């Protein structure tokens, strides 16, 4: 199948339009505003599609609702089940409760606490099993086989894909001159839907998918030319951490998605932090990967081209926010730790902190190392944690310290 061909794909234009009509009155038509605070990252206008403003905090409302609205009376009686790390779980639970359908959700044991609590709060029965989504899916499939529940798949279902496609149609209406759409990828349902809706109307628009380096299932499958199962690692982008993409999503991605890129954990943390600081927007790790890719220069953008970044979800555990902020600050160089060696005599520490303060650096923490440090008995090693203006500021400070005869043995 050649790239950008729509023939033979598992979701038709008619199904996409029917899905949009079906869910129209029950979802949030999320805004897609300009993001001038990030003009330095893009040579043309940049827009954010704010799917974190959906009722359950992510784009998952669209696909799960479209699937459940097509259930017959007997299927509704039997109830629905799904396996999800959190966003799809909340969407299924919320709409099942609203529609009066019994709902069971199997979540990984590593799912963020906020997502588990929210899912239970929407009335679902939650079972936690396994470390990643694929492990939970085994139990969900057992409930389908043995108890007759109806599976609401997180991504690999034509009805779910058709529901997610409504976002692509909205983007074209909100930003008619869009040239590039950057979309997070987990199992591929969202990017498949967006690509189908967009390429059918505007085939020139480039669709770029972004994955976490720790779970690059789409990239691995594209490289292999077939669906492959990867060994994924823990990632801040838990919502897009899947071991394999779907049998329905893979051919769509191969046909319509122009490029796939990955981003590191540090880049994800920095993107979450930047969205908090510049946009005043709370976005989870999986939702921030598009900004991480743009910030690194992994998404080629021509002069004047319009770019839409999909911020796919905002269900971030508040207990995790401080850790992500700290990691983002370290990546940006605004939080630094130095090991310095000074003479072991009264006043050395005070002199060091006064000198560092004179350079506009805030001292957050200090500790002495004597007996266990690889230094002479006449010296002391001081580990100092600092708040700075960034990496350039840190390097300038290190040069000034060394000019003063203070040895900097390590910088992190």
Quick one: three-class SS letters along 47-65? EEEEHHHCCCCECHHHHHH
Residues in Cβ contact with 147 at an 8 Å cutoff, skipping those fewer than 6 apart: 78
pLDDT in single tens digits along all 412 residues of the chain = 344 556 678 899 999 999 999 999 999 999 999 999 999 999 999 999 999 999 999 999 999 999 999 999 999 999 999 998 789 999 999 999 999 999 999 988 877 787 888 899 999 999 998 877 778 888 999 999 999 999 999 999 999 999 999 999 999 999 999 999 999 999 999 999 999 999 999 999 999 999 999 999 999 999 999 999 998 778 888 888 888 899 999 999 999 999 999 999 999 999 998 999 899 999 999 999 999 999 999 999 999 999 999 999 998 877 778 787 777 777 777 888 888 887 777 777 788 888 888 888 888 888 876 655 555 666 778 888 888 888 888 888 888 888 877 777 766 6
Residues 338 and 76: beta-carbon distance below 8 Å: no
The third-level CATH classification (topology) of the domain covering 13-59+157-328 is Rossmann fold (3.40.50)
CATH number belonging to the domain at 60-151, selected among 3.40.430.10, 3.40.50.1100, 3.10.180.10, 3.30.565.10: 3.40.50.1100
- For residue 372, give both structure tokens: 């266990």
Residue 159 sits at the vertex; the CA angle it makes with 193 and 89, to the nearest 5 degrees, is: 90
Query: Fold match between 13-59+157-328 and 60-151?
Result: yes
Q: CA-to-CA distance for 314 and 237, rounded, in angstroms? A: 11
> What are the residue ranges spanned by the domains of the chain?
13-59+157-328, 60-151, 333-411
Q: What are phi and psi of 203, to 5 degrees?
A: -65, -15
Residues in Cβ contact with 103 at an 8 Å cutoff, skipping those fewer than 6 apart: 79, 80, 81, 92, 93, 96, 97, 123, 124, 125
- For residue 144, give both structure tokens: 């389908």
DSSP state of 50: E
CATH class of 333-411: alpha beta
Kindly report the pTM of this predicted structure: 0.84
């Amino acid at each position: 199948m050649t790239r950008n061909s729509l023939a033979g794909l598992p979701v038709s234009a008619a199904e996409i339009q029917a899905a949009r009509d079906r869910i129209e009155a029950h979802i949030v038509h999320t805004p897609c505003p300009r993001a001038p605070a990030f003009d330095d990252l893009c040579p043309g206008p940049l827009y954010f599609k704010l799917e974190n403003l959906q009722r359950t905090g992510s784009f998952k409302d669209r696909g799960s609702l479209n699937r459940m609205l097509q259930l017959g009376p007997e299927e509704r009686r039997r109830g629905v089940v799904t396996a999800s790390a959190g966003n799809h779980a909340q969407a299924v639970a919320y709409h099942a409760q609203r529609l009066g359908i019994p709902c069971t959700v199997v979540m990984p044991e590593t799912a963020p606490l906020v997502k588990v609590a929210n899912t239970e709060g929407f009335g679902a029965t939650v079972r936690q099993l396994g470390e990643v989504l694929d492990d939970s899916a085994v139990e969900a499939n057992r409930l389908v086989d043995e108890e007759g529940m109806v599976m609401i798949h997180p991504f690999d279902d034509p009805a779910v894909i058709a529901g997610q496609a409504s976002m692509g149609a909205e983007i074209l209406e909100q930003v008619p001159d869009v040239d590039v759409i950057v979309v997070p990828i987990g199992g591929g349902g969202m990017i498949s839907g967006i690509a189908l809706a967009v390429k059918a109307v505007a085939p020139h628009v480039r669709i770029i998918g972004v994955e976490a380096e720790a779970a690059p299932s789409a990239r691995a499958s594209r490289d292999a030319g077939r669906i492959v199962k990867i060994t994924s690692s823990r990632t801040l982008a838990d919502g897009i951490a899947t071991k394999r993409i779907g049998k329905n999503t893979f051919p769509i991605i191969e046909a319509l998605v122009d490029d796939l890129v990955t981003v590191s954990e540090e880049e994800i943390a920095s993107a979450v932090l930047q969205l908090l600081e510049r946009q005043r927007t709370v976005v989870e790790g999986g939702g921030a990967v598009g900004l991480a890719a743009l910030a690194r220069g992994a998404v080629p953008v021509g002069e004047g081209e319009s770019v839409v970044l999909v911020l796919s979800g905002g269900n971030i555990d508040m207990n995790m926010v401080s850790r992500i902020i700290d990691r983002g600050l370290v990546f940006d160089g605004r939080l630094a730790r130095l090991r310095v060696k000074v003479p072991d005599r009264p006043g050395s520490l005070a002199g060091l902190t006064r000198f560092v303060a004179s350079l506009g650096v805030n001292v957050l923490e200090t500790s002495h190392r004597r007996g266990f440090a690889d230094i002479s008995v006449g010296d002391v090693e001081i580990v100092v944690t600092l708040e700075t203006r960034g990496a350039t500021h840190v390097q300038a400070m290190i040069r000034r310290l060394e000019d003063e005869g203070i040895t900097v043995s390590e910088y992190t």
